[in-house]
Amino acid sequence: MLDTFVIPLLQIAVLVNALLVTVTFLVLMERKVMGWAQARLGPMRVGPYGILQAIVDPIKLILKEDITPANADRFVFTLAPIMSLVPALVVFSVIPFGPEQPYYIADINVGLLFIISVTSIGVYGIILGGWSSNSKYPLLASLRASAQLISYEIAVVMTLVSVVLTAGTLNMIGIVEAQREAGLWFAFVQPVACVLVFIGGLAETNRLPFDLPEAETELTGGFHTEYSGMRFSLFFLAEYANIIVISAIVALMFFGGWMRPFPNVEALAFLDLIPGWVWFCGKIFFFLYLFVWIRATFPRYRYDQLMAIGWKVLIPIAIGNLVLTGIAKVVL
Amino acid sequence: MADDANQPAEKPSRPAVPPRPGPAAGAAPRKPKPKAPPEPPKGPPDPPPPEGMDPPGFVAALQAGVPGAVAQLTYWVGDWSVIVPAERLLEVARFLRDDSACGFDYCADVTATDWPPRAQRFDVIYCLYSTLNRHRLRIKVRAAEGDPVPSVAGLWPAANWLEREVYDQFGVNIVNHPDLRRILMPDEWQGHPQRKDYPLEGPGEYLMEDPQDWLQVWKLPDESGSEIE
Amino acid sequence: MMTDATEAPRRIGQAFDTDELVLNMGPQHPSTHGVLRVVLRLDGERVVDADCVIGYIHRGVEKLCENRDWTQIVLLTDRMDYVAAATSNLGYVEAVEKLMQVEVPRRARYIRTILAELQRIASHCLWLGTHAMDIGAMTVLLYSFREREHVLDLFEEYCGARLTYNSMRIGGLPLDIPTGWDKRVSAFCDVMETKLDEYEELLTNNRIWVGRTRDIGVISGEEATALGLCGPPLRGSGVSRDVRKDEPNAAYDEFEFDIPLGTRGDTYDRYLIRLEEFKQSIRIIRQAVEGLPEGPVMGKVPRLIKPPAGETYHAVESPKGEIGFFVVSDGRSTNPYRFRVRPPSFCNLQALSRLCKGHLVADVVALIGTIDIVLGEVDR
Work out the average pLDDT over C98-105: 88
Inform me whether the pLDDT recorded for B205 exceeds 60. no
End-to-end CA distance of chain C: 58
- pLDDT tens for each residue of A131-190: 888 888 888 888 888 888 888 888 888 888 888 888 888 888 888 888 888 778 887 888
Show which of residues 102-161 on chain B sit within 8 Å of chain C, judged by CB atoms. 105-109, 111, 113-114, 125, 127, 131, 134, 136, 138, 156-161
Confidence of residue C284 (pLDDT cuts 50, 70, 90): very high
Separation in Å, CA of C315 to nearest CA in chain B: 10
| Residue C325, pLDDT above cutoff 70 | yes
Are the C-beta atoms of C92 and C74 separated by less than 8 Å?
yes
With beta carbons less than 8 A apart as the criterion, state whether C63 and C131 touch.
Answer: no
So what's the pLDDT on residue C16?
Answer: 61
What is B158-185 written as a DSSP string? Answer: THHHHHHHHHHHH---EES-TT---SSS
User: Residue B32: is its pLDDT beyond 80?
Assistant: no
Q: What is the pLDDT of residue B202?
A: 62
Cα–Cα nearest to A297, from B117, B65, C208, C189: C208
Percent of chain A whose pLDDT exceeds 70: 99
Closest residue in chain A to residue C132, using alpha carbons only? A299
What's residue C326's pLDDT? Answer: 92
Tell me the chain A residues in contact with residue C146 when contact means C-beta distances shorter than 8 Å: 39
Three-state DSSP state, C326: strand
pLDDT at residue B26 is higher than 50: no
Distance CA C96, CA C14 (A): 64
Tell me which of A50 and C90 has the higher pLDDT: C90
Rounded-to-integer distance, Cα B150 and Cα B84, Å: 12
Domain that holds residue A100: 70-331
Residue C125's pLDDT is 92
Contact C147, A311 (CB under 8 A): no
CA distances from A126 to A86, A198, A224, A249, B119 (A): 13, 21, 8, 22, 66
Q: What are chain B's domains?
A: 57-192 (3.30.460.80)
In this predicted model, what pLDDT tens digit does every residue of A27-81 receive, in sequence order?
888 889 988 888 888 888 888 888 888 888 888 888 888 888 888 888 888 888 8
Interior/surface letters A271-297, b for 16+ CB within 10 angstroms, e for the rest: eeeeebeebbbebbbebbeebbebbbb
pLDDT averaged over every residue in chain C: 86
Question: Looking at the predicted structure, is the pLDDT value of residue B225 above 50?
Answer: no
A259 Cβ contact list (under 8 Å, min separation 6): A176, A179, A180, A276, A279
C331 contacts on B by Cβ (under 8 Å): 20, 25, 41, 45
Provide the pairing of β-strand B149-150 with B174-175: parallel
Q: Where are the beta strands (DSSP E) in chain C?
A: 21-25, 37-43, 46-53, 310-318, 321-329, 338-342
Tell me: pLDDT of B221 over 80. Answer: no
In the predicted structure, residue B38 carries a pLDDT above the cut 80: no
- The DSSP H or E segment spanning B138 is strand B136-143
Judged against a pLDDT cut of 70, whether residue B33 lies above it is answered with no
Element (DSSP H or E) covering residue B80: strand B79-84
Higher pLDDT: A323 or A123? It is A323
B34 in reach of chain C (CB within 8 A): no
Q: Give residue B206's pLDDT band: very low, low, confident or very high (50, 70, 90).
A: very low
Residue B86 is predicted with a pLDDT of 87
Is C346 exposed, middle or buried (CB count within 10 Å of its CB: 0-12, 13-18, 19+)? buried
Nearest-CA distance from B9 to chain C in Å?
Answer: 7
> Is C212 close to A301, i.e. CB distance below 8 A?
yes
Query: CB within 8 A of A181, min separation 6: which ones?
Result: none
Q: Where does the pLDDT of residue C121 fall: very low under 50, low under 70, confident under 90, or very high at 90 and above?
A: very high
What CATH number has the domain spanning C17-379? 1.10.645.10
The CA distance from C209 to C66, in Å, is 45
Task: Identify the pLDDT of residue C152.
Answer: 92
Q: What is the pLDDT of residues B155-176, one digit of tens each?
A: 889 898 999 999 988 888 888 8
Query: What letter represents residue C3's amino acid?
Result: T
- Chain C closest-CA separation from residue B193 CA (Å): 8
Evaluate if residue A12 carries a pLDDT over 50. Answer: yes
Domain assignment present for A151: yes
CB C247 within 8 Å of CB C312? no
Lowest mean pLDDT among A10-14, A272-276, C263-267: A272-276
In a domain, A52, yes or no: no
Residues C129-144 pLDDT 10s: 999 888 888 888 889 9
Query: What pLDDT does residue C124 have?
Result: 92
Decide if A201 is inside a domain.
yes
Interface probe with C: pick from A31, A302, A303, A306, most Cβ of C within 10 Å: A302
**Structural domain includes residue A11:** no
Say if A237 falls within a structural domain: yes
In a mutational test of the C interface, the residue from A294, A300, A306, A309 whose CB has the highest number of chain C CBs within 10 Å is A300
Spell out which residues of chain C touch residue B192, defining contact as CB-CB under 8 Å.
Answer: none
Would you say residue A41 lies in a domain?
A: no
Residue C341, C-beta contacts closer than 8 angstroms, at least 6 positions apart: C61, C62, C77, C80, C323, C324, C325, C326, C377, C380
A64 domain residue, yes or no: no
Kindly tell me if the per-residue pLDDT of B204 is higher than 80. Answer: no
Query: Which chain C residue has its CA at the smallest distance from A41's CA?
Result: C142
d(CA B113, CA A248): 70
Mean pLDDT across A290-317: 88
**Rounded to an integer, what distance in angstroms lies between the CA atom of residue A244 and that of residue A193?**
19
- Report the distance separating Cα A224 and Cα A69, nearest Å: 12
Percent of chain C with pLDDT over 90: 18
Element (H, E) at B127: strand B122-129
CA-to-CA separations, A99 to A104, A176, A187, A275, A276, in angstroms, rounded: 8, 9, 20, 11, 9
- pLDDT at C123 (0 to 100): 92
The answer to whether the CB of C298 falls within 8 A of the CB of C325 is no
- Residue of C340, C342, C353 for testing the chain B interface, max B β-carbons within 10 Å: C340
| H or E element, residue C64 | helix C61-65
The answer to whether C326 contacts B106, with C-beta atoms less than 8 Å apart, is no
How close is the nearest chain C Cα to the Cα of B44, in Å? 6
Range with the poorest average pLDDT among A26-35, A262-271, C133-142, C315-324 = A262-271
How confident is the model over C148-189, as pLDDT tens digits?
A: 999 999 999 998 888 888 888 888 888 888 888 989 999 999
- Eight-state DSSP code of residue A227: -
A327 Cβ contact partners less than 8 Å away, ≥ 6 residues apart: none
Contact C235, C177 (CB under 8 A): no
Edge-first strand order for the sheet with C46-53 is C21-25, C37-43, C46-53
Reported as a single tens digit per residue, the pLDDT across C203-248 is: 888 888 898 888 888 888 888 998 888 889 999 888 888 888 888 8
Gap between the Cα atoms of C141 and C320, Å rounded:
19
Q: How far is C140 from chain A (nearest CA, A)?
A: 8
Share of chain B above pLDDT 70, in %: 71
Helix, strand, coil tally for chain A in percent (to 5):
75, 0, 25
Q: Per-domain residue ranges for chain C?
A: 17-379
Helix (H) or strand (E) holding C214: none
pLDDT of residue B18: 53
Encode B114-149: b = buried (16+ Cβ within 10 Å), e = exposed. bbbeeeebbbbbbbbbbbebebbbbbbbbbebebeb
Whether B144 contacts B122, CB under 8 Å: yes
| ipTM of this predicted structure | 0.84
Number of domain units in chain A: 1
Question: How many CA within 13 A on the CB side of residue C258?
Answer: 9
Q: A123: Cβ–Cβ under 8 A, 6 or more apart, which residues?
A: A145, A146, A149, A150, A153
Q: Do chains C and B touch (3 or more CB pairs under 8 A)?
A: yes
* Closest to B133 (Cα-Cα) out of B63, B58, B55: B58
Amino acid letter at A193?
A
> pLDDT tens across B56-66, in order?
888 888 888 88
> Is there a contact between A302 and C365 if contact means CB atoms under 8 Å apart?
no
- Taking all residues of chain A, what is their mean pLDDT, rounded to a whole number? 85
Please report which confidence band the pLDDT of residue B228 belongs to, taking 50, 70 and 90 as the band edges: very low
Could you read off the pLDDT of C1-15 as tens digits, one per residue? 344 444 444 445 556
Residues in CB range of A282: below 8 A, 6 or more apart: none
Q: Do chains B and A touch (3 or more CB pairs under 8 A)?
A: no
pLDDT of residue C282: 92
Mean pLDDT of chain B: 75
